[in-house]
Chain A
Amino acid sequence: GDSVTQMEGPVTLSEEAFLTINCTYTATGYPSLFWYVQYPGEGLQLLLKATKADDKGSNKGFEATYRKETTSFHLEKGSVQVSDSAVYFCALTVPNTGGFKTIFGAGTRLFVKA
């Protein structure tokens, strides 16, 4: 079945370090891919998305490229800040009854130290 696998956390980095959070997926057809972020005490919010192969999503200095050949959508940021501390979820959507279904990864917690 359709699934998303992302690296286990927590990930602990110092401020200004380079961030990579790995995400791979299994899906039939051509899913859309997403990264959502959950800051402490809040719900999830969309960080970036890509809807077809080779698309690059970007927002707030974060980037991820839809790689169909490796079924991956790794999240990267060149220089993290303390304010980036949060839980990051990789997700995909596939067609389903009534429209689509979203499948989330388990989440990766990021701690950024000053």
Chain B
Amino acid sequence: DVKVTQSSRYLVKRTGEKVFLECVQDMDHENMFWYRQDPGLGLRLIYFSYDVKMKEKGDIPEGYSVSREKKERFSLILESASTNQTSMYLCASSLSSGEERNIQYFGAGTRLSVL
């Protein structure tokens, strides 16, 4: 089974802190994604990566950056956390080819509160 692991289930940070959210997948997937999930808004794509050291902006990249130094790991960075970044953050991965290339596998999420 594909496993996507997010390092923390819950985080509480203060305004202005630098925050790192880590995600690791164990199925050698090429693509990795970061979303935020807010009530009534569904999932919104922050950044995605289709290869090591490659990244592409999603729909709401402002205030975030990412890092992908190894294929299995994709990190989301909040350079200076703000209260409007309080949300549930979901990491996902997928293959880039084959029949299953469009299926995303998700981690359990990190609920971040910025005070």
Contacts and interface: CB of A to CB of B under 8 A. Distances in A.
Interface residues of A, number: 23
B55 to A, nearest CB: 10
A97 interface: yes
Contact of A98 (B45, B56, B104, B107): B56
Interface in A66-114: 89, 93, 97-102, 104-107
Contacts of B48: 98
- Identify whether the interface residues of A are mostly helix, strand, loop, or mixed: strand
B67 interface: no
Given A98-B56, A105-B42, A107-B42, A41 B108 contact: yes
B108 A93 contact: no
Interface of A: 32, 34, 36, 41-46, 49, 51, 89, 93, 97-102, 104-107
9 contacts: A36-B104, A41-B108, A43-B4, A43-B106, A44-B43, A44-B106, A45-B105, A97-B50, A98-B50
